[in-house]
A and B are shown apart, each in its own frame.
Chain A
Amino acid sequence: MCFSGCIRRVGHRGYLQLICCQFSTRDDQYRSARGAETGVSTEIQSSFSNMTAESLIKENDFAILKTGKAARLVQLNKGAVYVEKRKFNCQDIIGHPWGQVFAITCGKKGEATLSVVPRQDYVDHIFNASEKVGSSTSGQDNRDILDENRSQKLTREEITKLKQDGASSVDIVRSLVENSDTFSDKTNYSQQKYLQKKLKKYDSFFQACRPTVRLLSELYWSQNPLKVGMLRPDSLASVLASANILGKGKYIVMDSFLGLLTAGVLQHCAEGQVIQVLDYMGYQSSTRQAVQAIGLDSTRLLSVDYHLVEKLASGLKLREDCPEDPMNDRRVTKFQKNMEALSLLQQRDFAGLIMNCRGDIVEPCVLLLKFLRLSGTFVVFSPHLGVITNLYDTLKSKGGCVMLKVSESWIRGYQVLENRTHPVINMQGASGFILTGIKCE
């Protein structure tokens, strides 16, 4: 008899229980002969144990509030949050599980209230809303449809009134369909497209998502690519992979953009150390935004100004005393943090260097590479091919590195629907450029 680990977690909202049960499959015989296991161990069980507290939204947490149209990053402190230009109290969101969907309903005086939408209802809505709108007939093609912009009989005012009366998106879209002269003549595919588009427009749901590197990366990129220095999400994916970030490694990150790259690195080196080198603008309030938003352990993260690193590299010795300033604790702490970062750098055994920064990259890259150990990886991102080309040339002529490679990525989305599969119309044209390499003797 062979028990392989089939584990099942039962419960909800963090009430967990594990039951092991037998594989009930055809190849049991084979398995007992070989004694194979999928090897589910007690480690898995322990990884579930602290999920209770983690799965609920707490005060001061950052959350990504996602609607069908847009997403925004908010911090849930005492104040209000805005979704779709409506104001809500943070307390309405705090205490619910991550991923909770809320519906916005309008009160009589135009004030909005939130209600919790069970997951099942939300999923049903996603998949069944267009069926619920209902339509009886459809046309063969568009030969009889004239584009006169007169087919919709419902006026803007009437739609606004429907919304204010608390009509659901399904109700509104149903009225739109009923008041459209041409809807029933459209082809089935065209009707579906119309319904999906309109439902998305009038939906009043949002989901409170726990920020992840992916979600933040997509959010920032959709808001404005310049926010993240044109580092497209798939390029970030490639940068993080090429950097070979190991759990216990020490990494140097020169990141000027909201701490997104820093957060990605910090998350992957779960027990390691990250030094964020600050560009010519120094420490700013947004320097660690993504790190805070994801709620990463920032005790493993130190920041240091580039000009200090430059002085360290020029051979200046670190002082042994610490200036005392009883009037200003923050200044002392800042000094100590910088000191700590510099003395760590001095060991010159960092496992990797990852850069996406404002201003010059050639000089800092050459300098920071000195703090890497042999076989350490480095990845530099820039939206400008010319800049990356210069860096490549500099590194190549200086030597001391192998596997130098410059690349960009090409990405294309597809609409996959029955009889309607094709590449999506819009394409992301600028991935930026990545230079990767390995330091060696």
Chain B
Amino acid sequence: MSFVEHKECPADGDTVIVYLNFNLFYALTLKAGETFQTKYGALRHNDVIGKPYGSRVPVKNGYVHFLWPTPELWTLSLPHRTQILYARDISLTVFNLDLKPGSIVIESGTGSGSMTHSLARAVAPRGKVFTFDFHQQRSEIAQKEFDAHGLGELVKCAHRDVCADGFGLEGVADAVFLDLPHPWLAVEHAVKALKDSGGRICSFSPCIEQVQKTCDKFRELRCGEITTLECLERPYEIKKIQMAKQSGDPTRGLEYFLGEDGLPFDTTPASEELKLESAEGLGEEQITKKPRGGKTNGARRDPGGDQILTAVPSVNIPGHTGYLTFATFFGRTEANISNCGAVLQDHEGIPDSS
């Protein structure tokens, strides 16, 4: 299977997302004959293979769904080998790098491949993602994962310290994404990797000092339209809440006033003169209405009122992921191009590409 080309039913070896509830889902690679333990009971892989994505599968104590693995679901369920980027930052980066089908994009570091899946989707079917990591094992695992996810044609991993050695790619990329501890050391290589007609660069860094050094480097290399921003997701919870009437239970506290007659009001009928306009409509009905709850236990008393549907922001949310800095490389001039060419021709053994 391929993350970027839909098919109806998963086969042996395909990846699915096993969904139990909003906060509980797993990425699972199917193997005929095996079982997967969930909170609600064991899931037999054979019950999943050959059924359409999105189906419901019964397990011992309920059922689970299995879903098509989107890069967004993958990001939330992937095995972490490093810190990863999350959906908002990823979507903003893909958008601001002007990625579209056919684009060529470079990424460093590969990390756990969270970003890479989205980059691959954005440039598919004819584009390319070149992704580099200075950690050899990470790079190798990532390539295996991309191959297993059907992204082998789109994504090429390489083990490489791009800060020290550059990308080994010049004048080919539409965009470069940097997620490195020292991004400023890679900016020059990133510029070199972009097409002669120019392109976009994005750097993601958690610390402002990293951003400052990177921005200085962008300016030094004459990259413009430099924008730094921070983007966070604010999730909402949708709830039905009871809007209790403040007049609630009119018998409450009567014992303090020694009964209805003890209230701080005259016993003569309400005067029209003293009646406030806003209080109109608060008729006798409400004042004399019998309380719905029991009188004995105040805590359990039902105050009445309507149920309304409302949204409330989640209480604890991530407050910082990182700063995204975008810059535009305006392209090489004719003079620059011939200079670069000359430098390259100094190398020995240039093979003929044709």
Contacts and interface: CB of A to CB of B under 8 A. Distances in A.
A38 B349 contact: no
B26 interface: no
Nearest to A118: B333
A123 B334 contact: no
Interface stretch (A181-189, A316-324, A334-342, A374-382): A374-382
A10 B159 contact: no
Contact of B224 (A5, A126, A421): A126
A392 interface: yes
A440 interface: yes
A430 to B, nearest CB: 12
A376 B165 contact: no
Given A19-B344, A24-B347, A403-B19, A270 B87 contact: no
Given A37-B156, A40-B169, A403-B19, A21 B351 contact: yes
B230 A411 contact: yes
A87 interface: no
Contacts of A120: 333, 335
Contact of A8 (B67, B208, B233, B340): B340
Interface stretch (A155-163, A240-248, A279-287): A240-248
A192 interface: no
Given A376-B54, A389-B238, A123 B222 contact: yes
A206 B73 CA distance: 42
A204 interface: no
A246 B6 contact: yes
A416 to B, nearest CB: 4
B337 A12 contact: yes
Contact of B337 (A3, A11, A212, A249): A11
A393 B92 contact: no
Contacts of B70: 244, 377
A374 B52 contact: yes
A417 B215 CA distance: 8
Contacts of A44: 104, 128, 172
A142 to B, nearest CB: 25
A8 B193 CA distance: 9
Contacts of B246: none
Contacts of A127: 219, 222, 224
Contacts of B330: 99, 119, 122-123
A35 to B, nearest CB: 11
Interface stretch (B41-49, B94-102, B256-264, B275-283): B94-102
A166 B335 CA distance: 29
Q: How large is the interface on A (under 10, 10 to 19, 20 to 34, 35 or more residues)?
A: 35 or more
Nearest to A400: B54
A267 B101 contact: yes
A247 B4 contact: yes
Given A7-B171, A38-B169, A99-B198, A414 B67 contact: no
A383 B70 CA distance: 26
Given A38-B130, A213-B95, A407 B235 contact: yes
Contacts of B212: 416, 418, 421
B94 A19 contact: no
A409 B351 contact: no
A313 B198 CA distance: 49
B235 A410 contact: no
A389 B309 contact: yes
Contact of A405 (B91, B94, B160, B235): B235
A329 interface: no
Nearest to A24: B347
A80 interface: no
B229 A99 contact: no
A22 B330 CA distance: 27
Nearest to A244: B70
A12 B334 contact: yes
Interface string B73-105: 100000000000001101110111010111010
Interface in B239-272: 240
Contacts of B323: 414
A246 B130 CA distance: 20
Given A373-B54, A440-B54, A248 B211 contact: no
A18 to B, nearest CB: 5
B94 A241 contact: yes
Interface in A346-386: 351, 373-377, 385-386
A21 to B, nearest CB: 4
Nearest to B101: A270
Contacts of A405: 22, 235
B158 A38 contact: yes
A390 to B, nearest CB: 7
Given A127-B222, A271-B125, A441-B54, A10 B19 contact: no
B123 to A, nearest CB: 10
A240 B171 contact: no
A439 interface: yes
A234 B98 CA distance: 13
Interface in B43-69: 52-56, 65, 67-68
B5 A3 contact: no
Given A19-B350, A402-B19, A433-B236, A6 B124 contact: no
Interface stretch (A25-33, A194-202, A223-231): A25-33
Contact of A214 (B4, B90, B95): B95
A22 B333 contact: no
Nearest to B170: A8
B98 A214 contact: yes
A11 B219 CA distance: 25
Q: Which 7 A-B pairs have the closest CB atoms?
A: A374-B54, A375-B54, A237-B95, A241-B91, A270-B101, A375-B53, A39-B156
19 contacts: A9-B195, A21-B351, A36-B158, A38-B169, A119-B333, A122-B330, A123-B330, A236-B95, A240-B91, A242-B91, A270-B102, A376-B54, A393-B309, A406-B238, A410-B232, A414-B228, A414-B323, A441-B55, A441-B65
Given A8-B170, A20-B353, A25-B168, 9 more contacts: A36-B158, A44-B172, A214-B98, A247-B125, A271-B125, A375-B67, A406-B237, A409-B231, A413-B227
Interface of A: 1, 3-12, 18-27, 30, 34, 36-41, 43-45, 47, 55, 97, 99, 118-120, 122-123, 126-127, 212-214, 233-234, 236-238, 240-242, 244-249, 267-268, 270-271, 351, 373-377, 385-386, 388-390, 392-393, 396, 402-418, 421, 433, 438-441
